[in-house]
Amino acid sequence: LSKDEKEILVLRIVEGYSINETSKMLNKPEGTVKSNQYRALQKLKKILGKCNYFSD
């Protein structure tokens, strides 16, 4: 994940900030935060899938 993607995931998921709050903190448009979050989650899902993280 890129630095921006990690930062957004930490603020949104770990810290619990809203899209609006994250957008203001990072000085980025809300749409950019949303798309970067989506992209980061897709990458993370792919990474975890390769590690068989979700298999029994």
Domains of the chain: 3-50 (1.10.10.10)
Residues 54 and 32: their CA atoms lie apart, in Å, by 29
- Return the pLDDT at 47: 86
**What's the helix, strand, coil split of the chain in %, to 5?**
75, 0, 25
**What average pLDDT score do residues 16-35 get?**
98
Residues 33 and 26: their CA atoms lie apart, in Å, by 9
Alpha-carbon distance values, 56 to 19, 50, 51 (Å):
34, 14, 12
- Return the pLDDT at 54: 63
- Return the pLDDT at 50: 77
Confidence of residue 55 (pLDDT cuts 50, 70, 90): low
